[in-house]
A and B are shown apart, each in its own frame.
Chain A
Amino acid sequence: MYAFEIERPTSLSDAVSALKAEGAQALGGGQTLIPSLKARLAMPEVLVSLSAIDEIKGICTDDEGRICIGGGTPHGRVAAELKDSYPALASLAARIGDPAVRNRGTIGGSLANNDPSACWPAAALASDAVIKTDRREIAADDFFAGLFETVLEEGEIVTEVRFPVPQAANYQKFAQPASRFALVGVFVAKYEAGVRVAVTGASESGVFRWTEAEEKLSSDFSAAALEGLSHAAEGMIGDLHGTPAYRAHLIGVLTKRAVAAAG
C-alpha cells in the first residue's frame, strides 16, 4: 500500500464533496479496492469511505413495487432479506465469495467496479434495473461500458439500485475453479413485457444480453425453446480456466438450466 488519507463522512452530501478532492476515491466494502491497494496497483490520495452513510444502506420497496437496495448495502443483507421477495437475487448474493466478503462487499461497489466476472451486473441487466446515483438515474442497459468500465463520472456515487420484480427468475453460476467468481453466469428474468437474459463472465466486452435467447424465451418460456440455439465463441474470453468455445457452450447450458429452475 502507498500512504493515503481516509475520510468517513456520515452523509451523502459530505461524501460527494469529499470526493471532489484531488486524487479522492470512494471506498465501499473494500473487497476489491483494498487488495489492489495492497498490491500497490492503485495510488489514491484520499479514500472516502461510504460505510458510515446510513442513507445509502438498506432494502425497501418503492411505490411501483420495485425492490430498492441502497448502494452501500452488503451482499449478506441481500442474501438474508430478499429470500421471499426476490429469491434469485438473494441466492446470487449468497454465492458471492465467503461470509467475510459478503458482510463487507456492497452492491454499489460491485456495479461500479464492473468486473467482467462479477455477479451483480448480470442481475441488474437482466432485471432492467435502474441505478441511482448522487446526480442521476441510469438504466442498466446504459450503465455498463466494457471491462471494468461504467458510465459513472469522476466521484459519482451509486446510492441505490432499483429492481423490478420478475414473475420468475434464476441465476446460474458456473464458478471459475480458483477464484469462484463466475466463469460464466447467466441471469434469466421473466417479466410481463418479455424475458431478459444477461450473461456475465464470458465476454471480452463484459456483461451482455443474449437477445436471441430472449426472443425465443419470450414466446415460449421453456428450456426446450432454446433447443438448437447456441452462442458463438467469437468475442468470448479465453484464459487458463476456459476457452472461448467452452464459455460459449456454458452460456447455452446455463441458460437452459436457469429457465428450468425458474419454472
Chain B
Amino acid sequence: MTLIGTGVRRKEDLRLLRGQGDYADDIHLPDATWAVFARAPYAHARLVSIDVSAAREMPGVVAVLTGADLQAAGIGAIPHVVGSSLTGADIALKNRDGSERARTDHPPLILDRSRFAGEPFAAVIADSVAAAKDAAELIEAEWEELPAVTSALAALEDGAPQLWDHVPGNLALEAEIGDEAATDAALAGAAHRVVFDSQINRVTGVHMEPRSSAAWVEEDGRVTVRCSGGTGVVQMRESIAQTLGLPVERVRIVAPGDVGGNFGTRNATYPEFVVIAHAARQTGRPVKHLVERSEAFSTDYQARDLHVRVELGMDEDGTFLALKAVNTSNIGAHTASYVPLNKGIQLMTGLYRVPVAHATARAVLTNTPPTIPYRSAGRPEAMYAIERLVDLAARECGFDPIELRRRNMIPREAFPYTNPFGITYDSGDHIAAMDRALELADHAGLPARREKARARGKRLGFGFANYIEGTGGIPRERAEVTVIPGERRVEVVLGTQDTGQGHRTAFAQLVADWLGLEVDEVTIRTGDTDVVLAGGGSHSGRSLRFGSIVMDEASRGVIARARAVFAALNGAEAGDVEFSDGYLRLADSNVVTHLFDLAGAAEASDDLPEDLRGPIAAVGDKVTAGLAFPYGAAVCELEIDPDTGAYEIVRYTSVDDVGRALNPMILHGQTHGGIAQGVGQALFEGYAFDEMGQNVTGSLMDYQLPRAGDFPMFTTDLSEVPATSHPMGFRPGGEGGTTPALATCTNAVADALAEYGVRHLEMPVTPLRIWQAIEESRG
C-alpha cells in the first residue's frame, strides 16, 4: 500500500465549506475588551506631544496606552529576524567594509517619530470596539511633519530625507557577490550586451482574513496570545516574550486552527500582538483585536518592491558569457527582513550556465511599511529579471527566445551545478520541464493562434519563463508521534504551521503510510507552545521538507518501541517481531496484534519492564542544513485589444518539479493559487504612494486584486525528478505557480506589443499602460 502520491481529499475542506473554520477572531472570551489603535497620519513626522486624558475619561474605556507607557513598563523593540552574514544557508551578504547589515529598533508603539503613515502611536482598550474608536478619536497628538521618501532609489540620492541617524544615506546594507573584475572583462569582450532596468512593484498580501489576535492571562499568571503566523508558535513566543521583557515560560502562544491566507506577510511579529499582550497583563482582562481592511492595507507588512538593473553579455552565437546585476530593495521603515534581497540576488543567473557574474545587493530604508518575504521571497523578482533579460536578448540580438534558452540552460548531467555566486543546485531535468511546458501550451500551434487572434482584432502574446528557487527556512524541526489507543488514532505533534496548505491531510498521508494506518487514523497537532516544544513553522517551502524527515524518524521510533513492547508482552525478542500494515507479528506464529490494540494492552499491563511503560511514542528532532531547489517552467498566453489596452489571459500552463508529489491534488491547488498571485503582481496589483507618502491604493476599490473570472482554466503538470538533497526526494512545493509568473506575463505582453516597437512595460501592466505604449508608438 502506498498513500504517497495519491490525491487524498483534504480533511480540512468540509469543515471550512460549512463555515466551521476556527479563525483567530472565532473565540469568545468572557469579560473581553477590544483594542483600537491610533495611527500616525504622516509618513514621516516628529511626535511633538500626545494627550490621552480625554480618551481615558470616555465611557467604556479600560486603558489607553502610549509608546511612553510601554517603555516605562519595560517593553522593548520587536526583535525582527534580520539574520547576518554568519548564519543561514544563503550566500553571506555583508557590507563592503565587512560590517554587518543595519538593525533598527521597532517599538510596538512609536515613541517620538513616525516613519510610515499608519504606524500605531497609542492604543485604546475598551468594553467595545465602538467605545474604543470613540475614545481614539479624542487622542490629541501634535506632529511636526518631515519630508518623506517612499522609493528606494530616491532615498539613496543626496539630500534625501533621512530615516535613522545610525544609517547614513538610508543604506542599510550594500553587499557584493561574485567576481567583478572577471565579469567586467567578459562583458567588455562580449559580442552582444543587453541591459534591463526595472522597478518591480510593491504588493501587499491582502489576506482574506484580516489579521486578528487575542490575549489573556492564564490562572497561573502566564500571558497567552492567540495569533496566526507562519514562523510557528515557538519563534513567535520568543519574539513576543523578548519584546515584553518576560522569560519565554511566562508566555504561551496559540495559533488558531485555521488561517485565511498568509503568503508570508504574516511571518513577522506585529506590534499589535505585543500591545494586547501587555494590555491583558495590565488590565487583567482579555483583549481582542481585529484590523479593518483599510488598516490592513496601510499597516500590514508588504512585499517585493525591488529595483533591478541587469546586464548580460553573449558571444556571437548567443552563448552567455557574463551577467552583472544591481538589486536595490526597498525594505521600508524598519529592518524587518533581508531575506527577499538575499534569496533573489544569489539566483540572478537563473537556470543558465553563466561563467562569471557579479551582483550588488542594496537594502534601503524608506517611509513605507516594512517589506518581508511573500510567496517565494526574492525568487519571482530574480526570475523576472533574468527571464525578461533573456527575452530581450533574443529579440534584440536576433535569436529565438526558446532556442537561446536551450543553448544556455544547465543540462541534466551537469548537476550538481554551482552557480557563479556559489549556490549549488542539487539535481533536476530543467530542459525536460521546459519542453513539457511548451508542449502542453501548444507552442507549435502558436502561429495559427496568432493569426486567428489578429483576425478578431486582437494581438496575441506568448510569454515563457523558466524558474528555480533556493528555499531554506528555519532549519530545526521536531515531531512527536504518539499512539492513542483509546481513540484508535496516532497523534503527530509538529512545529510546522499550516496556513492553508493542507498539512492535516498530506502529513497524515505520510505517517499513515509508514505506520500502515488509514489517513483518518492520523491527526496532526500544531500551534500551541504548551505541546510544540520546537520547530520552525511554515515558510520558505520548509514544512514537508523538514517535517517529513522528523516524522519519519519519529515513526521509526514508534515502530521500534512497538516491537519491543510486543516482544516483551509475548516473551520474545524484538528481532523476532515483524511490523507491517499496522500489525505486529511474531515470526513464524499466529500471534498478531494491531498497533492500537498493542498500545491498549501495554497501557493495561503491569508486567512491562520499566523502560517500556508509558505510551508508545517517539520523537524526531533534527536540524537540516542547506537549500532545496524546486524548479519548472510556465507559459502565459494573452490577447490584447489594441483599441483599449484591455487584455485577456487565454491560456496558462505550468510544469513544476517538486521531486516527488506527496498529494498531487493539493499541489495542483497550490500551483493554481500561486499562479493567481504571481499573475496578480504582473498584471493587476501595484501598491502606490503619493509624494507625501500616503498610500493611494488603500482599499479594494483601487488596489486591483485579481478575481477567479480573470483567469482561464490552468494547465498544470508535475515533473518528478527526485531531489538528491532530500532523503525522500521531496522538493518544496507551493510557490512554483508564483515564481515564474512575473516573467511569463511581462514576456507575453512584450511579445504581443512587439509589432508596435514596445520594448518593455513595467508591472503592473494595466490596460492604461498598454494603451499608452501603443499610443506612443503611433506617435
Q: Which residues of A contact B (CB under 8 A)?
A: 1-3, 38-40, 174, 177-179, 181, 240-243, 245-246, 249-250, 253
Q: Is the CB of A39 within 8 A of B701?
A: no
How far apart sit A152 and B292, CA to CA, in the bound complex (Å)?
33
Question: What residue in chain B is nearest A39 (Cβ atoms)?
Answer: B294
Q: Is the CB of A243 within 8 A of B133?
A: no
How far apart sit A229 and B363, CA to CA, in the bound complex (Å)?
51
- Which residues of chain B from 637 to 663 have any CB-CB distance to chain A below 8 Å in the complex? 643-646
Chain B residues closer than 8 Å to A39, beta-carbon distance: 294
Most A CB atoms within 10 A — which of B696, B705, B768?
B768
Q: Is the CB of A241 within 8 A of B133?
A: no
Chain A residues closer than 8 Å to B688, beta-carbon distance: 240
Q: Is the CB of A177 within 8 A of B767?
A: yes
Q: Is the CB of B703 within 8 A of A253?
A: no
B540-574 vs A, CB cutoff 8 Å, 1 = contact: the mask equals 00000000000000000000000000000000000
Q: Is the CB of A241 within 8 A of B768?
A: yes
Question: What residue in chain A is nearest B767 (Cβ atoms)?
Answer: A177
Question: What residue in chain A is nearest B641 (Cβ atoms)?
Answer: A253
Q: Is B700 at the interface (CB under 8 A from chain A)?
A: yes
Specify which of A179, A242, A243, A245 is in contact with B702 (CB 8 Å cutoff). Answer: A179
Asked whether A240 and B696 contact (CB < 8 A) given A1-B130, A246-B771, A250-B644, the answer is yes
Q: Is the CB of B697 within 8 A of A240?
A: yes
Asked whether A178 and B768 contact (CB < 8 A) given A1-B130, A240-B688, A253-B643, the answer is no
Q: How far is the CB of B772 from chain A (nearest CB, A)?
A: 7
How far apart sit A39 and B130, CA to CA, in the bound complex (Å)?
12
Q: Is the CB of B768 within 8 A of A242?
A: yes
How far apart sit A40 and B705, CA to CA, in the bound complex (Å)?
24
Residue pairs across A and B with Cβ atoms less than 8 A apart, 11 shown, are A1-B130, A38-B292, A39-B294, A40-B133, A177-B684, A178-B697, A178-B701, A181-B701, A242-B768, A243-B768, A249-B771
Q: Is the CB of A3 within 8 A of B130?
A: yes
How far apart sit A181 and B700, CA to CA, in the bound complex (Å)?
12
Q: Which 9 A-B pairs have the closest CB atoms?
A: A178-B704, A179-B701, A177-B704, A253-B643, A178-B702, A246-B768, A242-B768, A253-B644, A246-B771
Most B CB atoms within 10 A — which of A38, A241, A246?
A246
Q: Is B766 at the interface (CB under 8 A from chain A)?
A: yes
Chain B residues closer than 8 Å to A245, beta-carbon distance: 775
Q: How far is the CB of A180 from chain B (nearest CB, A)?
A: 8
Question: What residue in chain A is nearest B704 (Cβ atoms)?
Answer: A178
Contacts beyond the supplied A178-B703, A179-B701, A249-B775: 9 A-B pairs with Cβ under 8 Å: A174-B644, A177-B684, A177-B704, A177-B766, A178-B701, A240-B702, A241-B766, A243-B772, A253-B643
Q: How far is the CB of A223 from chain B (nearest CB, A)?
A: 12
How far apart sit A38 and B688, CA to CA, in the bound complex (Å)?
24
Q: Is the CB of A246 within 8 A of B702?
A: no
Q: How far is the CB of A50 from chain B (nearest CB, A)?
A: 25
Q: How far is the CB of A175 from chain B (nearest CB, A)?
A: 9
Q: How far is the CB of A257 from chain B (nearest CB, A)?
A: 9
Question: What residue in chain B is nearest A174 (Cβ atoms)?
Answer: B644
Q: Is the CB of A174 within 8 A of B646?
A: yes
B742-775 vs A, CB cutoff 8 Å, 1 = contact: the mask equals 0000000000000000000000001110011001
Question: What residue in chain A is nearest B137 (Cβ atoms)?
Answer: A40
Chain A residues closer than 8 Å to B767, beta-carbon distance: 177
Chain B residues closer than 8 Å to A250, beta-carbon distance: 644
Chain A residues closer than 8 Å to B646, beta-carbon distance: 174
How far apart sit A132 and B500, CA to CA, in the bound complex (Å)?
52
How far apart sit A210 and B697, CA to CA, in the bound complex (Å)?
31
Question: What residue in chain A is nearest B133 (Cβ atoms)?
Answer: A40
Q: How far is the CB of A164 from chain B (nearest CB, A)?
A: 30
Q: Is the CB of A178 within 8 A of B130?
A: no
Q: How far is the CB of A162 from chain B (nearest CB, A)?
A: 31
Q: Is the CB of B772 within 8 A of A246?
A: yes
Chain A residues closer than 8 Å to B775, beta-carbon distance: 245, 249
Q: How far is the CB of A6 from chain B (nearest CB, A)?
A: 15
Q: How far is the CB of B638 from chain A (nearest CB, A)?
A: 14
Question: What residue in chain B is nearest A184 (Cβ atoms)?
Answer: B644
Chain A residues closer than 8 Å to B643, beta-carbon distance: 253
How far apart sit A254 and B700, CA to CA, in the bound complex (Å)?
25
How far apart sit A245 and B771, CA to CA, in the bound complex (Å)?
10
How far apart sit A246 and B767, CA to CA, in the bound complex (Å)?
10
Chain B residues closer than 8 Å to A3, beta-carbon distance: 130
Q: How far is the CB of B193 from chain A (nearest CB, A)?
A: 35
Chain B residues closer than 8 Å to A242, beta-carbon distance: 768
B691-720 vs A, CB cutoff 8 Å, 1 = contact: the mask equals 000001100111111000000000000000
How far apart sit A253 and B643, CA to CA, in the bound complex (Å)?
7
How far apart sit A40 and B704, CA to CA, in the bound complex (Å)?
24
Chain A residues closer than 8 Å to B645, beta-carbon distance: 246
How far apart sit A174 and B771, CA to CA, in the bound complex (Å)?
13
Question: What residue in chain B is nearest A249 (Cβ atoms)?
Answer: B771
How far apart sit A1 and B771, CA to CA, in the bound complex (Å)?
41
How far apart sit A250 and B770, CA to CA, in the bound complex (Å)?
13
Chain A residues closer than 8 Å to B772, beta-carbon distance: 243, 246
How far apart sit A40 and B294, CA to CA, in the bound complex (Å)?
12
